[in-house]
């Protein structure tokens, strides 16, 4: 039976993550609560914290705030300012494999390399989402009517992927072959980069706001329906012509957040009513991890070994669920 | 379709939209709202920091991002930046009570208003309280000649501040009021100098709240909440007493915005819903606002509707009172509306 260690965050949990054995909860009031051996409260932002991303090596969580700052927070609570854009609301942040940080506000995206070298990318319309390619050499920016792909280190023309409509979030597949965006409509759009083949993934009753790749990038798990919808990407032509898996079906609520187990074909699903389930792909076997609470689940994160799951909700309820053996 | 239950109206954050041509006095009003001691904490979305002399960490600059919806409807546009800003603000819920959105001088208010009806996330968290338009008494007639936006802003307004009245003569002011009245007789109009108005007249209006559609009588020059009283200095000529004829009449350029008020008896609800659906589908691009109180046959309750372009929403509101006349009345504000077709169409809905 899973055991929950509650963590009281008291304010919207924007992002949960594990920094090694320490669970980090980045919260809307500008704080990052670090729960390891003891508990530390870091305050990277004067105002609100709008976005956060964990570095792939788990060494720090990078946060963006409405004070215009981008800050790295380590497991011991120490802070390091990465960039500052006074009066801008930094509401998108992502970290590349080699440590570069990208962030965005309004119509501009920036990349800061580990040595501090900065590069600015200005777009004609607002940045909807940002994602690094797996090796961190390219930055993909979701925008109105498509995606712009920029080289991070060299001055070379951007590449455009077109699809009409507002693209609001973006991910590269772990093998770098596909880009998938969430849209203002209740749909996903994908491109196979080799030939720019378009993929439409539709049928959602609400907007898709959470996406995550399963172990080895076999499936793309998504929120936005009354079950977690997992599109198969292991075939030759990705999800085209394939039916998605539907896991953790509920009749009375919608999936808010998905987080795939780092090793197994298992997914953690957070719902609008605050419930959290773990579901196995092969037989749809479900384990209840958390009963419904006060507010929608806003974030879920597995530790590297897949033994613990951190969760947070829009009302500031949070905790660490140990799955045991 | 959304499966998340709508939060109760009182948990939704009220949003006031402030429009007006450049130089009309929006910033003056905004600064008053931000500095006066009214007990409400505002998060403010502006187009440019400009002259707002307020140090407020909940002040955000936002570039207008118009999103067209891929639903085949040409007038279904929303403000993408607003969706994102509301989403961001929700992470700081509890640190503010209300949101103020300032649009650019040349903005069409429709996408802002539509965002609160068409985007499920925004709709769940926030509600449009009112569109407030600040008008420069001295320059507005010229603006109305030059631009559609100035007209749209007046047509869309729930509250109009007729500002800088000290810079015009009484005759000029009368001409301006008549012109505004011809575009939108339903907005509450206040004469002001330097936006000097009791903020209660601007904030917390509930203008898009179906529960608060009380009457569709023109409220020209109304300074108080008493719906049938005229404020001091009121000199309007009460020429809106022709409701019995089924519609108001204006002798204006056919391309300019006007309002059409229609009345009918008790209606067959099925026929009415089909009709209003058709009207808004076909004429939606030309309809800026609509509001109605409908009497359905054998229905003890008033049914209220409101709309923006192609979006219409409606609900049962309250029981008809004893002695209250069971008439249906609907008001359209728009341009190039086919008045005869609307009259005939509504008539055909009668039970």
Is there a domain that residue A246 lies in?
yes
The residues, ordered by sequence, that sit 6+ positions from A170 with a Cβ below 8 Å of its Cβ are A128, A129, A130, A131, A140, A141, A142, A147, A179, A180, A181, A182
> Rounded to 10 degrees, what is the CA torsion of A195, A200, A201, A203?
-170
Tens-digit pLDDT profile for residues B64-111 = 899 987 666 667 889 999 999 999 999 998 889 999 999 887 788 899
Is there a domain that residue A159 lies in?
no
Entry pTM: 0.88
Higher pLDDT, B34 or B320: B320
Is there a domain that residue A118 lies in?
no
Tens-digit pLDDT profile for residues A144-176 = 999 999 999 988 899 999 999 999 999 999 999
Q: How far is CA B18 from the centre of its chain?
A: 11
Q: If residue A278 lies in a helix (H) or strand (E), which one and from where to where?
A: strand A276-280
Distance CA B33, CA B40 (A): 9
Closest by Cβ to A206, choosing from B2, B67, B92: B2
Lowest-pLDDT choice from A90-99, B54-63, B272-281: B54-63
What pLDDT score was predicted for residue B226? Answer: 34
Cβ–Cβ gap A272/B83 under 8 Å: no
Cβ–Cβ gap B60/A48 under 8 Å: no
Q: Does A305 touch chain B (CB under 8 A)?
A: no
Is there a domain that residue A134 lies in?
no
Lowest-pLDDT choice from A293-297, B41-45, B241-245: B241-245
Is there a domain that residue A244 lies in?
yes
Closest by Cβ to A50, choosing from B3, B63, B91: B91
Q: Does A163 touch chain B (CB under 8 A)?
A: no
Average pLDDT, chain B: 82
Cβ–Cβ gap A107/B63 under 8 Å: yes
Query: B120: nearest CA in chain A?
Result: A206
Is there a domain that residue A250 lies in?
yes
Distance CA B150, CA B137 (A): 12
Chain A hits for B124, Cβ within 8 Å: none
Orientation of helix B109-118 relative to helix B148-156, angle to 10°: 40
Q: Strands A39-42, B42-46: parallel, antiparallel or unpaired by DSSP?
A: unpaired
Closest by Cβ to A165, choosing from B2, B57, B70: B70
Q: Does A12 touch chain B (CB under 8 A)?
A: yes
Lowest-pLDDT choice from A177-191, B128-142, B224-238: B224-238
Cβ–Cβ gap B3/A91 under 8 Å: no
State the smallest CA–CA distance between residue A4 and chain B in angstroms: 24
| DSSP-assigned letters across all residues of B220-275 | TT--SS-TT-PPTT---------GGGTS----S-TTSEEEEEEEESSB-HHHHHHH
Q: Strands A138-151, A129-132: parallel, antiparallel or unpaired by DSSP?
A: antiparallel
Between the two ends of chain B, the Cα-to-Cα distance in Å is 31
Cβ–Cβ gap B3/A14 under 8 Å: no
A267 within 8 A of A286, measured Cβ to Cβ: no
| Overall domain count for chain A | 1
Q: How confident is the model at residue B8 (pLDDT cuts 50, 70, 90)?
A: very low
Q: What is the mean pLDDT of residues B269-296?
A: 93
Going through A133-265 in order, the beta strands assigned E by DSSP cover: 138-151, 159-172, 178-183, 188-192, 197-201, 211-213, 219-222, 228-232, 245-247, 255-260
What pLDDT score was predicted for residue B255? Answer: 55
Cβ–Cβ gap A205/B2 under 8 Å: yes
Lowest-pLDDT choice from A120-129, A167-176, B230-239: B230-239
Is there a domain that residue A215 lies in?
yes
Distance CA A89, CA A63 (A): 12
Cβ–Cβ gap B80/A126 under 8 Å: yes
Q: What is the mean pLDDT of residues B204-228?
A: 62
Structural domain span for residue A212: 207-325
A97 within 8 A of A132, measured Cβ to Cβ: yes
Q: What is the mean pLDDT of residues B154-171?
A: 93
Q: Strands B66-68, B188-191: parallel, antiparallel or unpaired by DSSP?
A: unpaired
Reported ipTM: the value is 0.93
Tens-digit pLDDT profile for residues B284-296 = 889 999 999 999 9
Query: B95: nearest CA in chain A?
Result: A29
Here the CATH number for the domain that contains residue A272 is 2.130.10.10
Is there a domain that residue A70 lies in?
no
Q: What are phi and psi of B255, to 5 degrees?
A: -90, -10
Cβ–Cβ gap A253/B4 under 8 Å: yes
Q: How confident is the model at residue A295 (pLDDT cuts 50, 70, 90)?
A: very high
Radius of gyration (Cα) for chain B, nearest Å?
20
Q: How confident is the model at residue B315 (pLDDT cuts 50, 70, 90)?
A: very high
What pLDDT score was predicted for residue B14? Answer: 95
Cβ–Cβ gap B70/A47 under 8 Å: no
What pLDDT score was predicted for residue B104? Answer: 82
Nearest to A299 by CA among A312, A309, A289: A312
Domains of chain B from N-terminus onward: 9-212 (3.40.50.300), 243-347 (3.30.1220.10)
Nearest to B325 by CA among B293, B291, B347, B349: B293
Query: A144: nearest CA in chain B?
Result: B67
Whose tokens are 């590297």? That residue is: A304
């Amino acid at each position: 039976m899973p055991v929950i260690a509650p963590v009281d965050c008291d304010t919207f949990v924007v992002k949960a993550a594990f920094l090694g054995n320490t669970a980090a909860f980045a919260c809307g009031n500008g704080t990052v609560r670090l729960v390891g051996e003891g508990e530390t409260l870091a305050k990277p932002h004067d105002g609100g914290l709008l976005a956060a991303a964990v570095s792939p090596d788990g060494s720090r969580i990078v946060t963006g705030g409405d004070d215009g700052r981008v800050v790295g927070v380590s497991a011991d609570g120490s802070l390091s300012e990465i960039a500052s854009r006074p009066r801008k609301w930094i509401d998108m942040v992502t970290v590349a494999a080699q440590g570069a940080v990208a962030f965005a506000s309004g119509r501009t995206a920036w990349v800061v390399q580990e040595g501090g070298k900065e590069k600015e990318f200005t777009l004609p319309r607002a940045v909807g989402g940002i994602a690094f390619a797996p090796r961190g050499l390219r930055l993909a920016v979701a925008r109105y009517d498509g995606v712009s792909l920029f080289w991070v280190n060299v001055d070379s023309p951007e590449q455009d992927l077109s699809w009409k409509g507002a693209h609001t979030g973006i991910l590269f597949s772990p093998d770098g072959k596909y880009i998938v965006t969430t849209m203002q409509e209740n749909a996903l759009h994908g491109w196979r980069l080799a030939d720019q083949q378009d993929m439409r993934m539709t049928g959602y009753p609400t907007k898709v706001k959470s996406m995550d790749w399963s172990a080895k990038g076999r499936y793309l798990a998504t929120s936005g329906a009354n079950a977690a919808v997992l599109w198969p990407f292991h075939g030759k032509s990705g999800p085209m012509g394939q039916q998605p898996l539907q896991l953790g079906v509920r009749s009375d609520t919608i999936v808010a957040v998905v987080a795939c187990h780092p090793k197994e074909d298992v997914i953690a699903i957070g719902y609008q009513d605050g419930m959290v389930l773990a579901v196995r792909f092969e037989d749809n076997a479900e384990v209840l991890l958390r009963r419904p609470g006060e507010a929608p689940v806003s974030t879920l994160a597995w530790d590297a070994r897949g033994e613990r799951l951190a969760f947070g909700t829009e009302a500031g309820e949070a905790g660490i669920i140990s799955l045991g053996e | 379709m959304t499966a998340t239950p709508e939060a109760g109206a009182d948990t939704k954050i009220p949003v006031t939209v402030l429009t007006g041509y450049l130089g009309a006095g929006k910033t003056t009003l905004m600064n008053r709202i931000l500095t006066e001691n009214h007990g409400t904490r505002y998060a403010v979305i502006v187009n440019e920091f400009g002259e707002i002399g307020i140090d407020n960490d909940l002040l955000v600059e936002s570039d207008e991002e118009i999103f067209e919806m891929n639903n085949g409807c040409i007038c279904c546009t929303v403000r993408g930046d607003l969706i994102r800003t509301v989403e961001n603000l929700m992470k700081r819920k509890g640190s503010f009570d209300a949101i103020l959105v300032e649009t650019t001088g040349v903005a069409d208010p429709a996408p802002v208003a539509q965002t609160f009806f068409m985007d499920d996330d925004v709709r769940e968290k926030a509600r449009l309280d009112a569109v407030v338009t600040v008008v420069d008494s001295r320059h507005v007639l010229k603006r109305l000649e030059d631009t559609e936006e100035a007209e749209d802003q007046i047509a869309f307004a729930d509250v109009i501040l007729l500002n800088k009245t000290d810079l015009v003569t009484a005759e000029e002011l009368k001409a301006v009021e008549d012109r505004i009245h011809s575009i939108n007789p339903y907005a509450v109009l206040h004469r002001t100098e330097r936006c000097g108005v009791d903020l209660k007249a601007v904030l917390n209006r509930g203008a898009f709240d179906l529960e608060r559609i009380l009457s569709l009588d023109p409220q020209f020059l109304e300074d108080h909440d008493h719906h049938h009283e005229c404020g001091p200095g009121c000199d309007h000529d009460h020429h809106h007493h022709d409701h019995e004829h089924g519609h108001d009449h204006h002798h204006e350029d056919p391309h300019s915005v006007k309002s059409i008020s229609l009345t009918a008896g008790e209606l067959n609800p099925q026929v009415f819903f089909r009709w209003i659906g058709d009207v808004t589908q076909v004429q939606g691009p030309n309809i800026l606002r609509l509001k109605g109180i409908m009497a359905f046959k054998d229905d003890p309750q008033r049914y209220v509707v409101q709309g923006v372009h192609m979006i219409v929403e409606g609900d049962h509101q309250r029981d008809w009172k004893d002695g209250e006349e069971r008439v249906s009345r609907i008001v359209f504000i728009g341009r190039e509306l086919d008045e005869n077709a609307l009259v005939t169409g509504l008539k055909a809905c009668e039970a």
